[in-house]
């Protein structure tokens, strides 16, 4: 490896994968990784566009790796994965290749421009905690394997980040928020998450939405406003279950076979129902989960179950919105979102937690209240 004044030069192997994307393998001192690569933290810019893809630094994890590295002679064979800008230059080594050599890769030198932080030509796709630890370790010069691919666009970087971390304990909220930004083929289990997450995105951005700037996403953790208190995973779970269940409010708009999914109808249904929820329980909707179980994940999930029941029942009504609001108004006096005891559950309002047992019990309580109110109305 050679260090020029503004370029780092390493011996590397080059091959190509996928859509002709150049891929490189090389070694470099671990502490130099953060000299050539930025960490693209996930956040939203002034226009609310999603930027970056990496989660926050996990300090304890980094410190544990540093402690291991500082112990002395260590084995550290885990490769760091980088995305490289097309600005890097590769020069293939000249000369006759040995007979019988498999030409799957070619040797040469890779020249990586050195830039200031925030303008670097490489981004860490996998191994940000290891890279930070290597930069903080007292033990320097440890050759670390690096695999890098050319990806000038953020979309490709995100795609690889998701695929690389799919089998690891990556936060579900981070993957959920990144998925709508990736317009490429993904494994089936990831692709099905895209629509619920995108609907969640729109609900958070649309000024007409009762969720407008109220949803806490991975990009707002730690630096969002205090109004971001409805957790995205709860709402995404509601939308996903409603789309996936044959009796779900949103399932009727899902494309079957070659049919197209009517995402506009799905969104309008969500907008209509949750606007009615907000207006019916105005005080509870304005409060954070610590003071209101309506905005708590348990309340969002339970009200999502009730959504499926009410929407399906009122389908075909001359004025569905009025019917939805009427149904919610009938159960409003018996709902204990901010005070009191849930009658059939025997639980104080603030005893409800986001555990399956409580969510199921609260969902059943709301369905029972709706059924009894509907029966009284028919009598």
pLDDT tens per residue, range 283-315:
999 999 999 999 999 999 999 999 999 999 998
- Helix segments in the chain, DSSP class H: 33-36, 59-69, 128-136, 154-165, 172-178, 188-191, 194-205, 232-244, 263-280, 282-285, 297-314, 320-331, 356-378
What percent of the chain has a predicted confidence (pLDDT) above 70? 78
pLDDT at 85 over 70: yes
Rounded to two decimals, what is the model's pTM? 0.56
189-235 pLDDT, tens digit each: 445 567 888 888 888 888 888 998 888 876 655 444 567 789 888 99
Closest CA to 82 of 13, 169, 157: 157
Count how many Cα atoms sit within 13 Å of the Cα of residue 221 in the half-sphere of its side chain: 15
Q: How far apart are the first and last CA of the chain?
A: 85
The mean pLDDT of 17-31, rounded to a whole number, is: 87
Q: Which residues of 139-153 are buried (b: 16+ CB within 10 A; e: fewer)?
A: beebebebbbbbbee
Please, what is the average pLDDT of the chain? Answer: 81
Residue 136 tokens, joined: 């903080």
């Amino acid at each position: 490896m050679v260090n020029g004044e503004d370029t780092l030069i390493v011996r590397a192997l080059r091959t190509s994968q996928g859509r002709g994307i150049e891929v490189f393998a090389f070694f470099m001192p671990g502490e130099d990784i953060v000299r050539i690569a930025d960490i693209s933290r996930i956040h939203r810019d002034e226009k609310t566009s999603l930027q970056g893809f990496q989660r926050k630094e996990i300090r304890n994890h980094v410190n544990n790796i540093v402690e291991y590295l500082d112990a002395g002679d260590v084995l550290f064979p885990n490769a760091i994965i980088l995305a490289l800008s097309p600005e890097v230059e590769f020069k293939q080594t000249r000369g006759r290749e040995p007979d019988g050599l498999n030409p799957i890769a070619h040797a040469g030198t890779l020249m990586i421009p050195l830039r200031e932080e925030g303008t670097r030509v490489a981004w860490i796709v996998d191994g940000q905690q290891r890279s930070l630890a290597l930069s903080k370790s007292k033990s320097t010069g440890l050759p670390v394997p690096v695999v890098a691919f050319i990806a000038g666009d953020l979309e490709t970087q995100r795609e690889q980040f998701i695929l690389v971390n799919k089998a690891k304990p990556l936060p579900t909220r981070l993957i959920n928020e990144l998925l709508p930004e990736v317009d490429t083929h993904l494994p089936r289990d990831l692709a099905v998450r895209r629509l619920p997450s995108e609907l969640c995105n729109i609900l958070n951005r649309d000024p007409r939405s009762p969720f407008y700037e109220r949803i806490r996403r991975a990009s707002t953790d730690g630096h969002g406003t205090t109004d971001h208190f409805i957790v995205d995973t709860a709402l995404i779970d509601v939308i996903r279950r409603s789309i996936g269940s044959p009796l779900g409010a949103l399932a009727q708009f899902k494309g079957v076979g070659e049919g197209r999914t009517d995402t506009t109808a799905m969104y309008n249904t969500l907008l209509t129902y949750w606007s009615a929820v907000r207006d019916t329980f105005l005080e509870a909707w304005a409060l954070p989960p610590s003071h209101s179980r309506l905005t708590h994940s348990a309340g969002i999930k339970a009200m999502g179950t009730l959504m499926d029941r009410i929407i399906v029942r009122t389908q075909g009504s001359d004025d569905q919105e009025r019917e939805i609001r009427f149904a919610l108004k009938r159960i409003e006096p018996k709902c204990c979102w901010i005070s009191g005891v849930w009658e059939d559950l025997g639980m104080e309002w603030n005893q409800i937690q986001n555990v399956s047992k409580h969510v199921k019990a609260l969902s059943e309580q709301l369905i029972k209240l709706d059924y009894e109110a509907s029966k009284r109305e028919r009598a």
